[in-house]
Amino acid sequence: MMPFSHRNRDAQGSGMTSQRARDRMVERLQADGIGDRRVLEVIRHLPRHQFIDEALASRAYEDTALPIGRGQTISQPWVVARMTEALIEMRLPSRVLEIGTGSGYQAAVLAGLVGTVYTVERIEELLRSARRRFRALKLDNIRSRHDDGRLGWPDEAPFDAIMVTAAGAELQVALLEQLAPDGCLIAPVGPPGRQTLTRIRAGEAGWMREDLGPVSFVPLLGGTG
């Protein structure tokens, strides 16, 4: 090692937001059962600290959800990884709809894997911050919209896959109707404290429903804010 290397690394910013911190997070995700290498590599290269407030950036690579304002949270990395791998397990979708842009992190992970991501957020202020991050990171395959995502994005339907990142009491029929044949939808469903990650696959014989385990998400709300 060159004698300068240590100083150079310090000059690049806090070790808490470095590539090494991301590498360690990916190792943890693998140890906790995330197996899809495509997902792990996207997460390894995406700066999660840029999706949260600077005051919390030093905690960006802990495996935890963090507040992003307006009572909302950026999802825990393990949950992002698990939902992403469950969504692309059968086949890699080309057009994906996400409901609940929030910080934009989940949309950015998807953007590294699929053709185009369409994402809908009901809180305009959060959407504006997310769009700024997409531009800064040159993620030009993300389209976003301020609306009540329970209605989906009818003008752009059908979608090969749909991911909902806020929990509804039940599955949204409007979203199921915007799923392409052979499409896949993943959503947390149920009341606070009793939500189940649910995967729906649209096949010739109808919809097939699978429960992928307990999760904890902020609620899917009506209207826009």
In the complex, which residues of this chain contact ligand SAH (CB under 6 A)?
72-75, 99-100, 102-103, 105-106, 120-123, 126, 148-150, 165-166, 218, 220-221
For the CB of residue 91, give the shortest distance to ligand SAH in the complex, in Å.
22
- Residues with Cβ within 8 Å of 92's Cβ and at least 6 positions away in sequence, in order, are 113, 114
- Residues with Cβ within 8 Å of 206's Cβ and at least 6 positions away in sequence, in order, are none
For the CB of residue 12, give the shortest distance to ligand SAH in the complex, in Å.
25
5, 18, 58, 75: which one is catalytic?
A: 75
Q: Which is nearer to ligand SAH, 17 or 106 (by Cβ)? A: 106
Q: Residue 94 catalytic?
A: no
Q: Which is nearer to ligand SAH, 66 or 202 (by Cβ)? A: 66
Number of H helices, E strands in the chain: 7, 9
Q: Which is nearer to ligand SAH, 80 or 179 (by Cβ)? A: 80
For the CB of residue 164, give the shortest distance to ligand SAH in the complex, in Å.
8
- Residues with Cβ within 8 Å of 186's Cβ and at least 6 positions away in sequence, in order, are 83, 86, 87, 161, 162, 163, 164, 197, 198, 199, 200, 212
- Catalytic amino acids? 75
